[in-house]
Amino acid sequence: MRFVRVGDFGPPQLAAVAEVAGAVLIWEVSELELDPVAVVTDPSAADWLWRVVGEDGHRAVLAGAAEADAAGGALGELRRLAFGHWLRRWWPASGRDAIPALDAALLDAELAVVTARCEAFFGERTVDSDAAELLAPHSAALLRARSLRDPRVDALIDAALVVVDDAGLGEIDPTWDEVVSAVPVTGDERYAAVAGGRVSRRGPDLVAAGTATVHWDAVPPGVFDAAEDTVDWAVLVGPGEAPTIQIAVATLDRSDASGIPVRADGAVGAVAEGALRADGFAALPLRTADGVLDEDTALTVDWAGLSVTVGVPTAEGRDVRDTVRRLARTRLEAPPAGAFLAEILAAEADF
């Protein structure tokens, strides 16, 4: 395992990261079988190192060694911890690309179990160490998951309930008592992509229309369909009306896009800024630096170069997104040993 003080590890979409006491461990998601790079932030706090590199290796690292041999078994749960958090953030769920969403409750439940197993590696202020926080929102969803009558699901929920008990969540949320003694209920919790509002792509008011792509690192996870060209836009100019742009972004079922910023930049300095509705739709006035864009100008300019940004501006490239999609499809086609149950169930689903 390589130890560094600082480093550039490429796009976050391609890195599985686990914060432990005094260090951050980073795996390349396409090479999870390799040892991670450890970015050491506080060598004196990394008292777990002996578990990974042995006592001699621990002393060597504290003395400034850049590398030490790691025991693969000691890293197994930390690798799963890092990859589980990667799945939560970067899994490219998409109806258009036929990549099913992972069951969030089951993923978080298994990640909570893994987190509890990694307790010896955490410090007091470690970001990834709160198993109870992972489980807290999911009592109702895990109650519904009992309806699958799948022994793998039941075994996972039973393991998660140990974490619930240790964290005292049952005292806060009585629903956990129902999870313990649940009887089958209805509900297939698959996800599907939906388009929300629709832009006007026909009629006399339509001046221009096009598509754009959401950058994954610009928006919260689990809100938008992860395919390319999921943003539809249309510039409309009605007689005697100020020019407007309608924007519709394909969202995932049961997600909420409300408040996520959206911006359009077009010809002659035209700009539209606002926020999306819950269903991913926005209708915004087009303006220039001098005020509202006039009707005659809007009817005559070339809108071919108009760009739409959802979320914050980023430089994310399509090659990064394509790499993640290939990884997701590979894992769905043949879930590897150690795959999360949420991945296995997604692979088995008739999507």
> Are 238 and 143 within one domain?
no
Any domain includes 345:
no
Any domain includes 212:
yes
Please name which of 233, 196, 231, 193 lies closest in space to residue 212, comparing C-alpha atoms: 231
Please name which of 194, 197, 233, 227 lies closest in space to residue 213, comparing C-alpha atoms: 227
In this predicted structure, the answer to whether residue 188 has a pLDDT above a threshold of 50 is: no
| More confident call, 267 vs 164 | 164
Q: ∠220-170-143 over CA atoms, to 5°? A: 65
Tell me how many domains the chain contains: 3
23 vs 211: CA distance, rounded Å: 42
Any domain includes 20:
yes
Tokens of 314: 């980023």
Last residue of a domain, one of 164, 188, 212: 188
Alpha carbon 264 to its chain centroid, in Å, reads 24
Say what percent of the chain tops pLDDT 70. Answer: 92
Residue 187's pLDDT is: 38
> Are 238 and 170 within one domain?
no
Last residue of a domain, one of 167, 188, 209: 188
Beta strands in 168-223 (DSSP E): 193-194, 206-212
Any domain includes 94:
no
> Are 197 and 313 within one domain?
yes
- Tell the burial category of 283 from Cβ atoms under 10 Å away from its Cβ (0-12, 13-18, 19+): middle
| More confident call, 304 vs 115 | 115
331 vs 103: CA distance, rounded Å: 15
| DSSP string over 328-343 | HHHHHHSPPTT--HHH
> Are 82 and 130 within one domain?
no
278 vs 82: CA distance, rounded Å: 30
Q: In the sheet that 291-292 helps form, which strands lie side by side, from edge to edge?
A: 291-292, 287-288, 271-275, 261-265, 307-310
Residue 109: which pLDDT band, with cuts at 50, 70 and 90? very high
Residue 197's pLDDT is: 65
In this predicted structure, the answer to whether residue 329 has a pLDDT above a threshold of 90 is: yes
> Are 44 and 121 within one domain?
no
Residue 195's pLDDT is: 54
Average pLDDT of the segment spanning 100-127: 92
Give tens-digit pLDDT for 270-302: 999 999 999 999 999 999 878 878 888 888 888
pTM for the whole structure: 0.90
Beta strands in the chain (DSSP E): 2-4, 15-20, 23-28, 37-40, 193-194, 206-212, 231-236, 244-249, 251-252, 261-265, 271-275, 281-285, 287-288, 291-292, 307-310
> Are 77 and 156 within one domain?
no
Any domain includes 341:
no
Residue 209's pLDDT is: 93
Residues 6+ apart with CB under 8 A from 289: 269
In this predicted structure, the answer to whether residue 64 has a pLDDT above a threshold of 50 is: yes
> Are 197 and 312 within one domain?
yes
Please name which of 285, 246, 283, 289 lies closest in space to residue 269, comparing C-alpha atoms: 289
In this predicted structure, the answer to whether residue 185 has a pLDDT above a threshold of 60 is: no
**Taking phi first (over 0 means left), then psi (-120 to 50 degrees means alpha), and beta for anything else, what does residue 2 get?**
beta
Listed range (60-69, 217-226, 280-289) with the worst mean pLDDT: 60-69
In this predicted structure, the answer to whether residue 22 has a pLDDT above a threshold of 70 is: yes
Tell me the residue range of the domain where 235 lies.
193-318
| More confident call, 56 vs 71 | 56
Residue 161's pLDDT is: 92
> Are 314 and 199 within one domain?
yes
Residue 55: which pLDDT band, with cuts at 50, 70 and 90? confident
Last residue of a domain, one of 161, 188, 215: 188
